[in-house]
Structures are given as structure tokens and as C-alpha cells.
Amino acid sequence: MRTAAGLAHALRELGGLSGGAGALRIRFIGVIVFQFLLIVVFTALAPRFLTWDNAQSILFTAAILAIAACGQTLVVLTGNLDLSVGSIMGLTGYIVFSIASQAPGLQPFVIVIAIVFGVALGAFNGFLVAVLEIPSIVATLGTLSIYRGLVSFYANATEVTSGELPRWMRTLAETSWLGLSSYVWIALVTVLIVGGMLRMLPWGRQIYAYGSNPRAAHFYGLNSTRIVIGAYIGAGLIAAIAGLLLGAQVGNINSLLASGIELSVLAAVVIGGVSIWGGTGSVYGAVIGAIVLATINNGLVLLQVQEFYRLVLQGGAIVAAVAVDAVVQKRVQSATTRRRIMGVEA
């Protein structure tokens, strides 16, 4: 116990930050350490694990999850959830490619169409949460069903086959640049853009401000409705693009594309240290969370162990992550309270 406290103190000194910010930095370092431990353990158990080919395949698997996790991060930062992410991906992936296959003239513009869909679906989520004040878990549980129902209604049990997809999307899915799949680069660019926007733009700062204390943000004069809807629109847009990429990767798309992925996305975000209470965490953490999940899946497949271990390890990682978050949260809180008291005294 004493050594743990000492270690925390030493790490804080290392971070050069007091209380709260130090705890958050340690949380971020913790995920990286966990990822590193996974690599060490898997390498020890399966030598094939630590090869360039395998690393490529892990990153490729993680890419789409990481992109979707970026969008989810925006919403979770505001203290809400988006359970409909899988349905947005599925709906956009199916309908956009289906439209493109019927009207080949539209094929170069699939991304534009997907963005329109993503913005609309995300805005609807945001409207339900911010304007109608439906708790986000209920609202997006509803839209999860509605969006999935819409695509299944539209699809009417047919498939979009890989031959019908725009040629350039298929090529993109199979291309590698500098030894890494194009998807990994797209994920990297997405993360940097979203991370940069969260850091630099007022939009991003407002999301953090609103997420850490909605009341304070309101008193400060921030428009909470606009912030929440903005976060959902961002999440919808990113999910739509992820759906498009997933569709091009899968090839033969049916109406069940990406169903159930919301739980993996949420797991990535939670493991990556984005607090479910809102206000703390970063897209970079979420991406590492996605890589952790992909590493667990990949390593356990190599070890040829039962599904049991994969699910238990994944579940355990989620519970451990939120347990650490609770400790961090307490530290952040006590740090801010202490500062306030000192301010009053001074």
C-alpha cells in the first residue's frame, strides 16, 4: 500500500503535475503499460505474435474500431452515450453503396453521401438527447433499433455484392502505403484531426467544459443544446465514414453490417480512459483502447484458446479500467476541492 502511494507520488513528480492532471496522465500511461504487458505476455506464449505481419493485422483490425471509438469519445466526453453507432455504420454502409450501385454516376461521391447520412442520423440522436431531454442510453437504444430497422426495411433481405461497390473503394481497402494498410493511415488521420479539433477549436473546449460540469458550463454562458447536438453530429459523421470503410472491407454487405459493434466501441473508449462520467479522456486513449482490444483478440486466436478467455480478459479489462477511473475521478475531485479551499483562504 505504501509503495503504491509512493509510486503514484513518484509518477506524479515525473509528470510534473499536481493531483488531478497527474492522475489523468498516469491513467493514460497505465493503458500503454497494459498494452505493453499484453505484448510481452503474448510474445512469451506465442513467438509468432511479435512479427511485422501480425502487427499489421492487429493494426488493420483496430483501424475501424479506432475510427468509431473517436466518434464515441466525442459523445462520452459530454457525459452521454451513443449506442446507435453500429446501426449508423450499418445503415450508411448499406444504403450508400446500394444507391451507388444503382446510380453509377454517384460512385465518386459516396463519401459525400455518407457524410450527409451521418450528420442527419447524428443530429437526430442529438435532438432526442438535448432537446427532448431523453436520457442518452434510452434515446440511442431507440435509434439503434430504428436505424437498424430502416436499413433492414430498405434492404428487404438482399445484399450489395462486392462487384457492385465502387471500384476505387475496393482498391482502397486493399491498398497499403509504407507497409501499413490504407485503413491504418485513415484511422491515424482521423484521430489527429479529431484530437486537434478537441484541443484547438472552441467546439472541442466546450465539449470538455460541458462534460466536466454541465451546470458550470451553463452559467458560463455555453449553449448546452448546441454542444450536445454538435458532439452527436460529429459522432454520426465519423460512424458513417467507418461504416463506409467497413462495407468496402467486407465486400458483400447485408443489412446486419456492423451490428453489435457498439459494445466493442464502448469497451475501447472505456479501456482507453475516457471517463463514462464525461469531461475527461482523449481520443488518443480511445485509440489505444481499440488497439488493446484488437491485441487481445489477435493474441488469443494465436494461442488457440477458447472464446471464454477472450471474453473474460476483455470483460476484466473493462471493469479494471473503470475501477482505475473511479480512483482517478476521486483524485481529480479532491485536487480541485483543495485548490478551491486554498483559494478561499488566500
d(C-alpha 6, C-alpha 155), whole Å = 59
With binding defined as CB under 8 A, does residue 316 bind other proteins?
yes
Closest CA to 177 of 168, 185, 189: 185
Beta bridge pairs of residue 160: 253
d(C-alpha 52, C-alpha 213), whole Å = 44
Amino acid sitting at position 207: I
With binding defined as CB under 8 A, does residue 276 bind other proteins?
yes
Rounded to the nearest whole angstrom, what is the least distance from the CB of residue 152 to other proteins in the complex?
A: 4
Torsion over CA: 203, 216, 208, 84 (sign): negative
Footprint (CB under 8 A) of other proteins, residues 48-107 = 81
With binding defined as CB under 8 A, does residue 308 bind other proteins?
yes
Rounded to the nearest whole angstrom, what is the least distance from the CB of residue 295 to other proteins in the complex?
A: 16
Task: Answer yes or no: are the C-beta atoms of 272 and 138 closer than 8 Å.
Answer: no
d(C-alpha 219, C-alpha 47), whole Å = 57
Question: CB-based contacts of 158: which residues, under 8 Å, 6+ apart?
Answer: 254
Rounded to the nearest whole angstrom, what is the least distance from the CB of residue 50 to other proteins in the complex?
A: 26
Tally of CB atoms within 10 A around 100: 22
With binding defined as CB under 8 A, does residue 4 bind other proteins?
no
With binding defined as CB under 8 A, does residue 328 bind other proteins?
no
Q: Which three cell numbers stand for residue 140?
A: 440511442
| CA–centroid distance for 300 within its chain | 22
d(C-alpha 65, C-alpha 77), whole Å = 18
Q: How many residues bind other proteins (CB under 8 A)?
A: 48
User: Of the ranges 43-51, 181-189, 307-315, 335-343, which one interacts with other proteins (CB under 8 A)?
Assistant: 307-315
Q: Which of 104, 319, 340, 341 binds other proteins (CB under 8 A)?
A: 319
With binding defined as CB under 8 A, does residue 120 bind other proteins?
no
Angle (CA) 40 42 45, round 5°: 110
Rounded to the nearest whole angstrom, what is the least distance from the CB of residue 294 to other proteins in the complex?
A: 15
Q: Tell me which residue has cell 450508400.
A: 96
With binding defined as CB under 8 A, does residue 267 bind other proteins?
yes
Angle (CA) 254 258 261, round 5°: 160
Q: Which of 196, 311, 334, 338 binds other proteins (CB under 8 A)?
A: 311
Q: Which three cell numbers stand for residue 46?
A: 506465442
User: Of the ranges 6-14, 18-26, 230-238, 312-320, which one interacts with other proteins (CB under 8 A)?
Assistant: 312-320
Q: Which of 314, 328, 331, 332 binds other proteins (CB under 8 A)?
A: 314
With binding defined as CB under 8 A, does residue 256 bind other proteins?
yes
- Per DSSP (E only), the strands in the chain are 176-177, 180-181
3-state SS assignment for residue 196? helix
With binding defined as CB under 8 A, does residue 21 bind other proteins?
no
Footprint (CB under 8 A) of other proteins, residues 123-162 = 128, 131-135, 137-139, 141-146, 148-150, 152-153, 157
Tell me whether residue 226 is exposed, middle or buried, using C-beta atoms within 10 angstroms of its C-beta: 0 to 12, 13 to 18, 19 or more: middle
With binding defined as CB under 8 A, does residue 301 bind other proteins?
no
Residue closer to other proteins by CB (options 7, 311) is: 311
Residue closer to other proteins by CB (options 19, 149) is: 149
Task: Answer yes or no: are the C-beta atoms of 292 and 271 closer than 8 Å.
Answer: yes
With binding defined as CB under 8 A, does residue 345 bind other proteins?
no
User: Of the ranges 45-53, 66-74, 182-190, 269-277, which one interacts with other proteins (CB under 8 A)?
Assistant: 269-277
Residue closer to other proteins by CB (options 34, 183) is: 34
Q: Which of 31, 270, 286, 290 binds other proteins (CB under 8 A)?
A: 270
Q: Which residues bind other proteins (CB under 8 A)?
A: 81, 128, 131-135, 137-139, 141-146, 148-150, 152-153, 157, 255-256, 260, 263, 266-267, 270, 276-277, 306-312, 314-319, 321-323, 326
